[in-house]
Structure 1
Amino acid sequence: MKIETQYNYEKTWRTTNEDDLLKIIAEEVGDADPKGTLAYIKEAITTGKVILVGSCRFRKAEEQSK
């Protein structure tokens, strides 16, 4: 599953790899478990929700039809 991120000051969504996702989450939640938070985000966005963690939004990337 591809995940897109957007900070609240940005206008566009961008696809983000898992290593960068963990870095973003660690910056936003501090001492909380980044891997556990990422697991929650992955589960929650499968239904089409947009999840806000700190100042960053996460959503499932829409599949591009060819």
Structure 2
Amino acid sequence: MVYVSNGQVLDSRSQSPWRMSFLVDLFWGAVDFIGLFFKTILHPNMTKDGNGGSSRFTDGRG
């Protein structure tokens, strides 16, 4: 992607792919993935809102 910095047109390929912000984002992405992986193993019926089980049976009536 091309962008302007200090009046100069720069290409993003000139930046290092191993800059600090990329490494930090990669680390937190891996932490989130591992956390979600174990949540889904321990609670397979959990919805994306964090509610467990089916909403059909929450009122206690059959």
TM-score normalised by L of structure 1 = 0.26
User: Between Structure 1 and Structure 2, whose CA radius of gyration is higher?
Assistant: 2
The structure that is strand-richer by fraction is 1
TM-score when scaled to structure 2?
Answer: 0.28
Higher relative contact order (CA 8 A, sep 6+): 1
